[in-house]
Structure 1
Amino acid sequence: MKTLPTYDPTLFEGAAESYAQYRTKYPSEVFAKLTEIFHINGQGRLLDLGCGPGLIAIPLSNQFQEVIAVDPDPDMIEEAKRQAQIAGRNNITWLEQGAELINSSLGEFKLVTIGRAFHWMQREIVLERIYELLSDDGGFVLLNTNENPWESSLPWKQAAIRIVKKWLGEERRTGQRGKGIRTPVDPPHEVLIAQSAFARQEVYEVSFEKSWTVSSYLGYLYTTAFALKIFFGDNVEPFEADLKQALLEVEPSGNFTEEITASLRVVWKH
Protein backbone atom coordinates (compact mmCIF):
# COMPACT_ATOMS: atom_id res chain seq x y z
CA MET A 1 0.00 0.00 0.00
CA LYS A 2 1.33 3.42 -0.96
CA THR A 3 1.71 5.87 1.91
CA LEU A 4 1.43 9.62 1.68
CA PRO A 5 4.73 11.45 2.15
CA THR A 6 5.25 14.00 4.88
CA TYR A 7 5.82 17.40 3.31
CA ASP A 8 9.05 19.12 4.31
CA PRO A 9 8.01 22.73 5.04
CA THR A 10 11.63 23.86 4.70
CA LEU A 11 11.89 22.76 1.05
CA PHE A 12 11.50 26.34 -0.25
CA GLU A 13 11.68 28.16 3.07
CA GLY A 14 11.79 31.91 2.65
CA ALA A 15 11.81 31.72 -1.16
CA ALA A 16 8.22 32.49 -2.19
CA GLU A 17 8.56 36.20 -3.04
CA SER A 18 11.88 35.70 -4.84
CA TYR A 19 10.44 32.67 -6.65
CA ALA A 20 7.73 34.85 -8.17
CA GLN A 21 10.31 37.44 -9.21
CA TYR A 22 13.33 35.43 -10.36
CA ARG A 23 12.18 32.01 -11.54
CA THR A 24 11.99 31.67 -15.32
CA LYS A 25 8.49 32.39 -16.59
CA TYR A 26 6.96 30.18 -19.25
CA PRO A 27 6.62 32.12 -22.52
CA SER A 28 3.16 32.82 -23.93
CA GLU A 29 3.85 30.33 -26.75
CA VAL A 30 3.70 27.52 -24.15
CA PHE A 31 0.19 28.45 -23.08
CA ALA A 32 -0.87 29.00 -26.69
CA LYS A 33 0.28 25.45 -27.47
CA LEU A 34 -1.78 24.02 -24.63
CA THR A 35 -4.80 26.01 -25.77
CA GLU A 36 -4.39 24.56 -29.25
CA ILE A 37 -3.86 20.95 -28.12
CA PHE A 38 -6.83 20.80 -25.77
CA HIS A 39 -9.13 23.19 -27.70
CA ILE A 40 -9.41 25.46 -24.68
CA ASN A 41 -12.03 28.16 -25.22
CA GLY A 42 -12.56 29.96 -21.93
CA GLN A 43 -14.82 27.25 -20.57
CA GLY A 44 -14.06 24.26 -18.36
CA ARG A 45 -11.76 24.03 -15.36
CA LEU A 46 -8.00 23.87 -14.75
CA LEU A 47 -6.24 22.14 -11.84
CA ASP A 48 -2.66 23.31 -11.22
CA LEU A 49 -0.67 21.14 -8.81
CA GLY A 50 2.46 22.32 -7.03
CA CYS A 51 1.39 25.77 -8.14
CA GLY A 52 4.05 27.75 -6.27
CA PRO A 53 3.41 31.49 -6.65
CA GLY A 54 1.15 30.95 -9.66
CA LEU A 55 3.52 30.84 -12.63
CA ILE A 56 1.07 28.62 -14.54
CA ALA A 57 -2.28 29.15 -12.85
CA ILE A 58 -2.29 32.93 -13.24
CA PRO A 59 -1.36 33.25 -16.95
CA LEU A 60 -3.67 30.35 -17.87
CA SER A 61 -6.61 31.54 -15.78
CA ASN A 62 -8.06 33.69 -18.55
CA GLN A 63 -8.44 30.55 -20.69
CA PHE A 64 -10.72 28.77 -18.20
CA GLN A 65 -13.96 29.42 -16.37
CA GLU A 66 -12.41 28.34 -13.08
CA VAL A 67 -8.96 27.40 -11.78
CA ILE A 68 -8.05 25.40 -8.68
CA ALA A 69 -4.40 25.80 -7.67
CA VAL A 70 -2.80 23.56 -5.04
CA ASP A 71 0.47 23.81 -3.09
CA PRO A 72 1.51 22.56 0.37
CA ASP A 73 3.63 25.63 1.13
CA PRO A 74 1.61 28.39 2.88
CA ASP A 75 4.07 31.11 1.87
CA MET A 76 3.79 30.10 -1.79
CA ILE A 77 -0.01 30.22 -1.57
CA GLU A 78 0.06 33.69 0.00
CA GLU A 79 2.46 34.97 -2.66
CA ALA A 80 0.30 33.42 -5.38
CA LYS A 81 -2.76 35.23 -4.03
CA ARG A 82 -0.79 38.49 -4.09
CA GLN A 83 0.36 37.92 -7.66
CA ALA A 84 -3.19 37.04 -8.78
CA GLN A 85 -4.49 40.24 -7.25
CA ILE A 86 -1.83 42.25 -9.08
CA ALA A 87 -2.82 40.51 -12.34
CA GLY A 88 -6.53 41.08 -11.68
CA ARG A 89 -7.39 37.38 -11.86
CA ASN A 90 -10.28 36.48 -9.57
CA ASN A 91 -11.34 33.05 -10.84
CA ILE A 92 -8.61 31.10 -9.01
CA THR A 93 -9.15 29.17 -5.78
CA TRP A 94 -5.90 28.58 -3.88
CA LEU A 95 -5.63 25.45 -1.72
CA GLU A 96 -2.85 24.82 0.77
CA GLN A 97 -2.42 21.04 0.60
CA GLY A 98 -0.36 18.30 -1.00
CA ALA A 99 -1.16 17.15 -4.53
CA GLU A 100 -1.57 13.64 -3.14
CA LEU A 101 -4.70 14.77 -1.26
CA ILE A 102 -6.77 15.87 -4.26
CA ASN A 103 -10.05 13.95 -4.61
CA SER A 104 -13.47 13.94 -6.26
CA SER A 105 -14.72 16.75 -4.01
CA LEU A 106 -12.85 19.14 -6.32
CA GLY A 107 -15.03 18.17 -9.28
CA GLU A 108 -14.05 17.51 -12.89
CA PHE A 109 -11.27 19.18 -14.87
CA LYS A 110 -10.42 19.61 -18.54
CA LEU A 111 -6.70 20.05 -17.85
CA VAL A 112 -4.25 19.40 -15.01
CA THR A 113 -0.85 21.11 -15.03
CA ILE A 114 2.31 20.49 -13.01
CA GLY A 115 5.32 22.73 -13.49
CA ARG A 116 8.77 21.77 -12.19
CA ALA A 117 7.16 20.02 -9.21
CA PHE A 118 6.25 16.43 -10.13
CA HIS A 119 9.54 15.09 -8.74
CA TRP A 120 8.59 16.38 -5.27
CA MET A 121 5.36 14.37 -5.27
CA GLN A 122 4.36 10.77 -4.59
CA ARG A 123 3.95 10.35 -8.32
CA GLU A 124 1.97 7.08 -8.51
CA ILE A 125 -0.70 8.42 -6.16
CA VAL A 126 -0.90 11.75 -7.97
CA LEU A 127 -1.28 10.05 -11.37
CA GLU A 128 -4.16 7.94 -10.06
CA ARG A 129 -5.91 10.96 -8.57
CA ILE A 130 -5.45 13.05 -11.72
CA TYR A 131 -6.93 10.29 -13.88
CA GLU A 132 -10.05 10.18 -11.72
CA LEU A 133 -10.60 13.94 -11.93
CA LEU A 134 -10.13 14.45 -15.67
CA SER A 135 -12.96 14.67 -18.18
CA ASP A 136 -12.87 12.07 -20.95
CA ASP A 137 -11.54 14.63 -23.44
CA GLY A 138 -8.98 16.00 -20.98
CA GLY A 139 -5.37 15.39 -20.05
CA PHE A 140 -2.50 16.66 -18.02
CA VAL A 141 0.83 18.26 -18.82
CA LEU A 142 4.20 18.42 -17.11
CA LEU A 143 5.93 21.72 -17.84
CA ASN A 144 9.64 22.16 -17.39
CA THR A 145 12.53 24.37 -18.43
CA ASN A 146 16.08 23.17 -18.96
CA GLU A 147 18.04 25.94 -17.22
CA ASN A 148 19.29 23.66 -14.43
CA PRO A 149 22.84 24.93 -13.72
CA TRP A 150 23.97 21.53 -12.41
CA GLU A 151 23.64 20.14 -15.94
CA SER A 152 24.74 23.20 -17.91
CA SER A 153 27.75 23.50 -20.20
CA LEU A 154 27.68 27.32 -20.00
CA PRO A 155 30.90 28.58 -18.34
CA TRP A 156 29.12 31.18 -16.22
CA LYS A 157 26.66 28.62 -14.86
CA GLN A 158 29.47 26.21 -14.12
CA ALA A 159 31.21 29.03 -12.24
CA ALA A 160 28.05 29.65 -10.21
CA ILE A 161 27.76 26.01 -9.19
CA ARG A 162 31.45 25.93 -8.32
CA ILE A 163 30.83 28.74 -5.81
CA VAL A 164 27.70 27.05 -4.44
CA LYS A 165 29.75 23.88 -3.86
CA LYS A 166 32.52 25.89 -2.22
CA TRP A 167 30.11 27.14 0.43
CA LEU A 168 27.65 24.25 0.72
CA GLY A 169 29.69 21.18 -0.22
CA GLU A 170 29.96 18.96 -3.28
CA GLU A 171 26.62 17.18 -2.93
CA ARG A 172 23.44 18.82 -4.12
CA ARG A 173 21.38 19.76 -1.11
CA THR A 174 17.61 19.69 -0.82
CA GLY A 175 15.21 20.06 2.11
CA GLN A 176 15.77 19.68 5.86
CA ARG A 177 17.21 23.20 5.96
CA GLY A 178 20.02 22.13 3.68
CA LYS A 179 20.85 18.84 5.37
CA GLY A 180 18.99 16.72 2.81
CA ILE A 181 20.72 15.35 -0.30
CA ARG A 182 19.03 15.27 -3.71
CA THR A 183 18.50 11.81 -5.18
CA PRO A 184 17.68 11.10 -8.85
CA VAL A 185 14.06 10.53 -9.82
CA ASP A 186 13.61 6.81 -10.50
CA PRO A 187 11.97 5.70 -12.68
CA PRO A 188 11.80 8.71 -15.02
CA HIS A 189 8.44 10.46 -15.35
CA GLU A 190 7.79 9.09 -18.83
CA VAL A 191 8.25 5.50 -17.67
CA LEU A 192 5.84 5.94 -14.77
CA ILE A 193 3.27 7.57 -17.04
CA ALA A 194 3.57 4.75 -19.58
CA GLN A 195 2.81 2.27 -16.80
CA SER A 196 -0.28 4.21 -15.68
CA ALA A 197 -3.87 4.21 -16.95
CA PHE A 198 -3.27 7.14 -19.28
CA ALA A 199 -3.58 6.42 -22.98
CA ARG A 200 -0.60 8.24 -24.54
CA GLN A 201 1.98 10.96 -24.09
CA GLU A 202 3.91 13.29 -26.33
CA VAL A 203 6.52 16.00 -25.81
CA TYR A 204 6.39 19.47 -27.36
CA GLU A 205 9.13 22.07 -27.05
CA VAL A 206 9.29 25.86 -27.17
CA SER A 207 12.70 27.61 -27.25
CA PHE A 208 13.34 31.17 -26.10
CA GLU A 209 16.19 33.39 -24.95
CA LYS A 210 16.63 34.36 -21.32
CA SER A 211 18.80 37.19 -20.00
CA TRP A 212 20.29 37.45 -16.53
CA THR A 213 22.34 39.89 -14.47
CA VAL A 214 24.52 39.02 -11.49
CA SER A 215 21.75 40.24 -9.20
CA SER A 216 18.91 38.35 -10.89
CA TYR A 217 20.91 35.13 -11.06
CA LEU A 218 21.69 35.41 -7.37
CA GLY A 219 17.96 35.87 -6.83
CA TYR A 220 17.31 32.74 -8.87
CA LEU A 221 19.80 30.68 -6.84
CA TYR A 222 18.06 31.72 -3.64
CA THR A 223 14.80 30.21 -4.99
CA THR A 224 16.30 26.78 -5.57
CA ALA A 225 16.00 23.86 -3.15
CA PHE A 226 19.79 23.47 -3.32
CA ALA A 227 20.85 27.03 -2.44
CA LEU A 228 18.21 28.73 -0.33
CA LYS A 229 19.44 31.89 1.33
CA ILE A 230 18.95 30.38 4.79
CA PHE A 231 21.56 27.70 3.98
CA PHE A 232 24.35 30.28 4.07
CA GLY A 233 23.59 31.66 7.51
CA ASP A 234 26.19 34.28 8.47
CA ASN A 235 28.07 33.64 5.22
CA VAL A 236 25.54 35.32 2.93
CA GLU A 237 27.72 38.36 2.21
CA PRO A 238 30.98 36.48 1.46
CA PHE A 239 29.04 33.96 -0.67
CA GLU A 240 27.48 36.78 -2.69
CA ALA A 241 30.86 38.47 -3.13
CA ASP A 242 32.38 35.18 -4.29
CA LEU A 243 29.55 34.55 -6.74
CA LYS A 244 29.77 38.07 -8.19
CA GLN A 245 33.52 37.78 -8.68
CA ALA A 246 33.25 34.35 -10.33
CA LEU A 247 30.50 35.45 -12.72
CA LEU A 248 32.28 38.67 -13.71
CA GLU A 249 35.50 36.76 -14.39
CA VAL A 250 33.57 34.80 -17.02
CA GLU A 251 31.60 37.73 -18.38
CA PRO A 252 32.88 41.19 -17.28
CA SER A 253 29.77 42.95 -18.58
CA GLY A 254 27.68 41.20 -15.94
CA ASN A 255 25.04 40.36 -18.55
CA PHE A 256 24.37 36.71 -19.33
CA THR A 257 22.12 35.06 -21.89
CA GLU A 258 21.08 31.51 -22.56
CA GLU A 259 18.81 29.59 -24.88
CA ILE A 260 16.15 27.85 -22.82
CA THR A 261 13.82 25.10 -23.96
CA ALA A 262 10.45 24.79 -22.30
CA SER A 263 9.17 21.25 -22.60
CA LEU A 264 5.55 20.16 -22.39
CA ARG A 265 4.96 16.47 -21.71
CA VAL A 266 1.32 16.20 -22.73
CA VAL A 267 -0.60 13.15 -21.50
CA TRP A 268 -4.08 12.25 -22.71
CA LYS A 269 -6.65 10.33 -20.66
CA HIS A 270 -7.97 8.55 -23.77
Structure 2
Amino acid sequence: MVSTIPNYDPTLFQGAAWYYARYRSKYPKALFDLLADIFKLDGTGRLLDLGCGAGLIAIPFRDRFAEVVAVDPDAEMLKEAEEQARNLGANNIIWVQDRAESISPDCSDFRLATLGRSFHWMQRELVLEKLYSLLSDDGGIAIIKTSDDPWHSEHPWKQTAIAVVKRWLGEQRRTGKAGQGLWKSLEIPHEEVLAKSKFPRYANYEIKFEQSWTIDSYLGYIYSTAFALPSFFGKNREKFQVDLKESLLKIEPSGKFTEELSVTALIAWKQ
Protein backbone atom coordinates (compact mmCIF):
# COMPACT_ATOMS: atom_id res chain seq x y z
CA MET A 1 0.00 0.00 0.00
CA VAL A 2 1.39 3.38 -1.06
CA SER A 3 0.61 6.40 1.12
CA THR A 4 0.53 9.58 -0.95
CA ILE A 5 0.17 11.83 2.14
CA PRO A 6 1.51 10.01 5.20
CA ASN A 7 0.48 12.42 7.93
CA TYR A 8 -2.38 14.85 8.39
CA ASP A 9 -1.27 18.44 8.97
CA PRO A 10 -3.76 20.25 11.27
CA THR A 11 -2.35 23.62 10.18
CA LEU A 12 -3.22 23.04 6.52
CA PHE A 13 -6.27 25.34 6.56
CA GLN A 14 -5.79 26.93 9.96
CA GLY A 15 -7.74 30.20 10.05
CA ALA A 16 -9.29 29.66 6.60
CA ALA A 17 -12.69 28.22 7.51
CA TRP A 18 -14.62 31.51 7.80
CA TYR A 19 -13.33 32.62 4.38
CA TYR A 20 -13.80 29.17 2.85
CA ALA A 21 -17.48 29.09 3.75
CA ARG A 22 -18.13 32.53 2.26
CA TYR A 23 -15.71 33.04 -0.62
CA ARG A 24 -14.86 29.72 -2.27
CA SER A 25 -16.59 29.37 -5.63
CA LYS A 26 -19.74 27.30 -5.15
CA TYR A 27 -20.41 24.22 -7.22
CA PRO A 28 -23.05 24.81 -9.92
CA LYS A 29 -26.47 23.18 -9.62
CA ALA A 30 -25.78 21.44 -12.94
CA LEU A 31 -23.14 19.33 -11.19
CA PHE A 32 -25.61 18.01 -8.64
CA ASP A 33 -28.19 17.42 -11.36
CA LEU A 34 -25.61 15.42 -13.33
CA LEU A 35 -24.73 13.22 -10.35
CA ALA A 36 -28.40 12.74 -9.51
CA ASP A 37 -29.07 11.60 -13.08
CA ILE A 38 -26.08 9.24 -13.27
CA PHE A 39 -26.84 7.53 -9.96
CA LYS A 40 -30.65 7.87 -10.22
CA LEU A 41 -30.91 9.70 -6.93
CA ASP A 42 -34.47 10.12 -5.69
CA GLY A 43 -34.21 11.51 -2.16
CA THR A 44 -33.53 8.14 -0.57
CA GLY A 45 -30.21 6.51 0.28
CA ARG A 46 -27.13 8.00 1.90
CA LEU A 47 -24.31 10.30 0.80
CA LEU A 48 -20.80 10.19 2.24
CA ASP A 49 -18.94 13.47 1.73
CA LEU A 50 -15.26 13.06 2.60
CA GLY A 51 -13.11 16.12 3.22
CA CYS A 52 -16.37 18.06 3.38
CA GLY A 53 -14.74 21.32 4.47
CA ALA A 54 -17.37 24.01 5.01
CA GLY A 55 -20.13 21.88 3.48
CA LEU A 56 -19.99 23.11 -0.12
CA ILE A 57 -21.22 19.71 -1.37
CA ALA A 58 -23.04 18.27 1.64
CA ILE A 59 -25.38 21.22 2.13
CA PRO A 60 -26.62 21.92 -1.43
CA PHE A 61 -26.73 18.19 -2.25
CA ARG A 62 -28.60 17.13 0.89
CA ASP A 63 -32.08 17.10 -0.65
CA ARG A 64 -31.13 14.26 -3.01
CA PHE A 65 -30.63 11.87 -0.06
CA ALA A 66 -32.36 10.72 3.10
CA GLU A 67 -29.14 11.19 5.06
CA VAL A 68 -25.72 12.77 4.53
CA VAL A 69 -22.59 11.90 6.50
CA ALA A 70 -20.02 14.69 6.12
CA VAL A 71 -16.48 14.04 7.35
CA ASP A 72 -13.56 16.41 7.83
CA PRO A 73 -10.59 16.49 10.24
CA ASP A 74 -10.71 20.30 10.66
CA ALA A 75 -12.90 21.39 13.58
CA GLU A 76 -13.08 25.00 12.34
CA MET A 77 -14.38 23.88 8.95
CA LEU A 78 -17.04 21.71 10.55
CA LYS A 79 -18.13 24.55 12.83
CA GLU A 80 -18.68 26.80 9.79
CA ALA A 81 -20.45 24.00 7.92
CA GLU A 82 -22.81 23.33 10.83
CA GLU A 83 -23.63 27.03 11.10
CA GLN A 84 -24.38 27.28 7.38
CA ALA A 85 -26.55 24.15 7.55
CA ARG A 86 -28.41 25.39 10.62
CA ASN A 87 -29.18 28.70 8.91
CA LEU A 88 -30.73 26.79 5.99
CA GLY A 89 -32.63 24.31 8.13
CA ALA A 90 -30.56 21.42 6.76
CA ASN A 91 -31.22 18.78 9.40
CA ASN A 92 -30.37 15.51 7.64
CA ILE A 93 -26.58 15.98 7.76
CA ILE A 94 -24.36 14.25 10.32
CA TRP A 95 -21.08 16.10 10.81
CA VAL A 96 -18.10 13.94 11.79
CA GLN A 97 -14.63 15.18 12.73
CA ASP A 98 -12.30 12.54 11.37
CA ARG A 99 -9.89 11.79 8.59
CA ALA A 100 -11.13 10.02 5.49
CA GLU A 101 -8.46 7.38 6.08
CA SER A 102 -9.94 6.56 9.51
CA ILE A 103 -13.58 6.12 8.58
CA SER A 104 -15.13 3.08 10.21
CA PRO A 105 -16.21 0.08 8.09
CA ASP A 106 -19.39 0.06 10.21
CA CYS A 107 -20.38 3.31 8.46
CA SER A 108 -21.57 1.68 5.23
CA ASP A 109 -24.21 1.26 2.53
CA PHE A 110 -23.70 4.62 0.83
CA ARG A 111 -25.20 5.28 -2.59
CA LEU A 112 -22.54 7.86 -3.39
CA ALA A 113 -19.31 9.17 -1.92
CA THR A 114 -18.07 12.62 -2.91
CA LEU A 115 -14.63 14.17 -2.53
CA GLY A 116 -14.52 17.84 -3.47
CA ARG A 117 -11.18 19.67 -3.63
CA SER A 118 -9.95 17.21 -1.01
CA PHE A 119 -8.76 13.96 -2.59
CA HIS A 120 -5.27 15.28 -3.35
CA TRP A 121 -4.67 15.83 0.40
CA MET A 122 -5.49 12.20 1.23
CA GLN A 123 -3.80 8.83 1.18
CA ARG A 124 -5.62 8.15 -2.02
CA GLU A 125 -5.05 4.41 -2.36
CA LEU A 126 -6.17 3.71 1.20
CA VAL A 127 -9.26 5.91 0.88
CA LEU A 128 -10.34 4.19 -2.35
CA GLU A 129 -9.89 0.78 -0.77
CA LYS A 130 -12.08 1.76 2.17
CA LEU A 131 -14.68 3.45 0.01
CA TYR A 132 -15.23 0.38 -2.15
CA SER A 133 -16.53 -1.62 0.80
CA LEU A 134 -18.65 1.26 2.13
CA LEU A 135 -20.74 1.63 -1.04
CA SER A 136 -23.93 -0.14 -1.99
CA ASP A 137 -23.68 -2.36 -5.06
CA ASP A 138 -25.31 0.31 -7.25
CA GLY A 139 -23.14 3.06 -5.78
CA GLY A 140 -20.03 4.94 -6.78
CA ILE A 141 -17.75 7.87 -6.06
CA ALA A 142 -17.32 11.34 -7.51
CA ILE A 143 -13.97 13.12 -7.20
CA ILE A 144 -14.65 16.77 -7.95
CA LYS A 145 -12.15 19.40 -9.09
CA THR A 146 -12.62 23.05 -10.02
CA SER A 147 -10.38 25.02 -12.40
CA ASP A 148 -10.03 28.00 -10.06
CA ASP A 149 -6.35 27.65 -9.13
CA PRO A 150 -4.86 31.11 -9.77
CA TRP A 151 -1.31 29.76 -9.88
CA HIS A 152 -2.03 28.31 -13.33
CA SER A 153 -4.39 30.93 -14.72
CA GLU A 154 -4.07 32.80 -18.01
CA HIS A 155 -6.17 35.72 -16.73
CA PRO A 156 -3.99 38.83 -16.26
CA TRP A 157 -5.88 39.82 -13.10
CA LYS A 158 -5.26 36.43 -11.51
CA GLN A 159 -1.61 36.53 -12.50
CA THR A 160 -1.45 39.96 -10.88
CA ALA A 161 -3.04 38.62 -7.68
CA ILE A 162 -0.48 35.82 -7.45
CA ALA A 163 2.36 38.26 -8.16
CA VAL A 164 1.20 40.27 -5.14
CA VAL A 165 1.04 37.12 -2.99
CA LYS A 166 4.59 36.29 -4.05
CA ARG A 167 5.78 39.79 -3.15
CA TRP A 168 4.69 39.23 0.43
CA LEU A 169 5.17 35.48 0.90
CA GLY A 170 8.00 34.62 -1.49
CA GLU A 171 8.20 32.95 -4.87
CA GLN A 172 7.57 29.41 -3.68
CA ARG A 173 4.01 28.28 -3.04
CA ARG A 174 3.45 27.59 0.64
CA THR A 175 1.23 24.96 2.18
CA GLY A 176 0.84 23.52 5.65
CA LYS A 177 3.30 23.16 8.52
CA ALA A 178 2.17 26.52 9.88
CA GLY A 179 3.27 28.21 6.65
CA GLN A 180 6.66 26.54 6.45
CA GLY A 181 5.72 23.77 4.04
CA LEU A 182 6.01 23.95 0.25
CA TRP A 183 3.50 22.75 -2.34
CA LYS A 184 4.31 19.64 -4.33
CA SER A 185 2.24 18.67 -7.36
CA LEU A 186 0.86 15.15 -7.45
CA GLU A 187 3.24 12.86 -9.30
CA ILE A 188 0.46 10.36 -10.04
CA PRO A 189 -2.88 11.69 -11.37
CA HIS A 190 -6.15 10.64 -9.76
CA GLU A 191 -7.11 8.62 -12.83
CA GLU A 192 -4.02 6.44 -12.55
CA VAL A 193 -4.63 5.81 -8.85
CA LEU A 194 -8.26 4.97 -9.61
CA ALA A 195 -7.29 2.61 -12.44
CA LYS A 196 -5.28 0.51 -9.97
CA SER A 197 -8.13 0.34 -7.44
CA LYS A 198 -11.00 -2.15 -7.15
CA PHE A 199 -13.34 0.17 -9.04
CA PRO A 200 -13.87 -1.46 -12.46
CA ARG A 201 -14.67 1.64 -14.51
CA TYR A 202 -14.58 5.40 -14.37
CA ALA A 203 -15.30 8.43 -16.56
CA ASN A 204 -14.72 12.19 -16.52
CA TYR A 205 -17.51 14.75 -16.88
CA GLU A 206 -17.01 18.49 -17.23
CA ILE A 207 -19.40 21.37 -16.60
CA LYS A 208 -18.60 25.01 -17.30
CA PHE A 209 -20.03 27.89 -15.32
CA GLU A 210 -19.53 31.63 -14.84
CA GLN A 211 -17.98 33.03 -11.68
CA SER A 212 -17.99 36.71 -10.73
CA TRP A 213 -15.69 38.38 -8.22
CA THR A 214 -15.12 41.72 -6.58
CA ILE A 215 -11.75 42.67 -5.15
CA ASP A 216 -13.04 42.02 -1.63
CA SER A 217 -14.50 38.62 -2.49
CA TYR A 218 -11.31 37.58 -4.26
CA LEU A 219 -9.29 38.65 -1.24
CA GLY A 220 -11.58 36.38 0.78
CA TYR A 221 -10.90 33.58 -1.69
CA ILE A 222 -7.15 34.03 -1.28
CA TYR A 223 -7.48 33.80 2.50
CA SER A 224 -9.39 30.53 2.05
CA THR A 225 -6.47 28.82 0.33
CA ALA A 226 -3.73 26.70 1.84
CA PHE A 227 -1.10 28.85 0.12
CA ALA A 228 -2.13 32.23 1.57
CA LEU A 229 -3.71 31.78 4.98
CA PRO A 230 -4.29 35.07 6.84
CA SER A 231 -1.68 34.13 9.44
CA PHE A 232 1.03 33.84 6.79
CA PHE A 233 1.07 37.63 6.35
CA GLY A 234 1.51 38.44 10.03
CA LYS A 235 1.93 42.15 10.71
CA ASN A 236 2.04 42.80 6.94
CA ARG A 237 -1.53 41.69 6.37
CA GLU A 238 -3.03 45.18 5.94
CA LYS A 239 -0.17 46.21 3.65
CA PHE A 240 -0.75 43.09 1.55
CA GLN A 241 -4.45 43.92 1.25
CA VAL A 242 -3.71 47.49 0.11
CA ASP A 243 -1.17 46.19 -2.41
CA LEU A 244 -3.62 43.63 -3.77
CA LYS A 245 -6.45 46.15 -4.16
CA GLU A 246 -4.26 48.77 -5.83
CA SER A 247 -2.70 46.23 -8.17
CA LEU A 248 -6.04 44.75 -9.24
CA LEU A 249 -7.59 48.18 -9.79
CA LYS A 250 -4.80 48.95 -12.25
CA ILE A 251 -5.88 45.89 -14.24
CA GLU A 252 -9.61 46.56 -13.96
CA PRO A 253 -10.70 49.98 -12.56
CA SER A 254 -14.23 48.71 -11.86
CA GLY A 255 -12.86 46.18 -9.38
CA LYS A 256 -15.15 43.54 -10.86
CA PHE A 257 -14.02 40.37 -12.59
CA THR A 258 -15.80 37.54 -14.39
CA GLU A 259 -14.36 34.24 -15.53
CA GLU A 260 -15.51 30.93 -16.94
CA LEU A 261 -14.63 28.05 -14.66
CA SER A 262 -15.02 24.34 -15.21
CA VAL A 263 -15.85 21.72 -12.63
CA THR A 264 -14.74 18.17 -13.39
CA ALA A 265 -16.35 15.10 -11.86
CA LEU A 266 -14.21 11.97 -12.00
CA ILE A 267 -16.84 9.31 -11.44
CA ALA A 268 -16.22 5.64 -10.65
CA TRP A 269 -18.78 2.87 -10.27
CA LYS A 270 -18.62 -0.07 -7.89
CA GLN A 271 -19.98 -2.33 -10.62
TM-score range, shorter chain: over 0.9
Cross-structure match for 2:40:
39
Cα deviation, 1:127-172, whole Å, max 9, x if unaligned, reads 0000010111110001111011000000000000001111111111
SS in 2 for 1:204: strand
Cα deviation, 1:93-131, whole Å, max 9, x if unaligned, reads 110000001122112100000000001001010000000
State the aligned residue count. 270
Percent identity between the aligned chains?
A: 56
Provide the C-alpha distance between the structure 1 equivalents of 2:242 and 2:68, rounded to a whole number of angstroms.
42
Provide the C-alpha distance between the structure 1 equivalents of 2:161 and 2:58, rounded to a whole number of angstroms.
30
Provide the C-alpha distance between the structure 2 equivalents of 1:246 and 1:178, rounded to a whole number of angstroms.
24
Q: C-alpha root-mean-square deviation of aligned residues, in Å?
A: 1.0
Q: Which amino acid aligns with 1:233?
A: G
**Which TM-score applies when normalising by structure 1?**
0.98
Provide the C-alpha distance between the structure 1 equivalents of 2:7 and 2:154, rounded to a whole number of angstroms.
35
Question: Contact 1:108–1:135 at 8 Å: present in 2 too?
Answer: yes
Cross-structure match for 2:228:
227
Mapped pair 1:168 → 2:156: no
Provide the C-alpha distance between the structure 1 equivalents of 2:89 and 2:247, rounded to a whole number of angstroms.
40
Provide the C-alpha distance between the structure 1 equivalents of 2:229 and 2:269, rounded to a whole number of angstroms.
36
Provide the C-alpha distance between the structure 2 equivalents of 1:5 and 1:133, rounded to a whole number of angstroms.
22
Deviation at 1:2, TM superposition (A): 5.4
SS in 2 for 1:104: coil
Cross-structure match for 1:179:
180
SS in 2 for 1:216: helix
Provide the C-alpha distance between the structure 2 equivalents of 1:229 and 1:252, rounded to a whole number of angstroms.
25
Q: Which amino acid aligns with 1:76?
A: M
Provide the C-alpha distance between the structure 2 equivalents of 1:121 and 1:150, rounded to a whole number of angstroms.
21
- Runs of 4+ deviating beyond 6 Å: none
Provide the C-alpha distance between the structure 1 equivalents of 2:182 and 2:170, rounded to a whole number of angstroms.
11
Deviation at 1:6, TM superposition (A): 2.8
Q: Bigger CA drift: 20-29 or 102-111?
A: 102-111
Mapped pair 1:188 → 2:189: yes
Provide the C-alpha distance between the structure 2 equivalents of 1:22 and 1:161, rounded to a whole number of angstroms.
17
Provide the C-alpha distance between the structure 2 equivalents of 1:166 and 1:87, rounded to a whole number of angstroms.
40
Cα deviation, 1:32-64, whole Å, max 9, x if unaligned, reads 000000000011100000000100001111110
Question: Contact 2:17–2:224 at 8 Å: present in 1 too?
Answer: yes
Structure 2 residues not aligned, in runs of 5+: none
Provide the C-alpha distance between the structure 1 equivalents of 2:263 and 2:85, rounded to a whole number of angstroms.
23
Cross-structure match for 1:17:
18
Question: Contact 1:48–1:70 at 8 Å: present in 2 too?
Answer: yes
Provide the C-alpha distance between the structure 2 equivalents of 1:220 and 1:12, rounded to a whole number of angstroms.
13
Cross-structure match for 2:249:
248
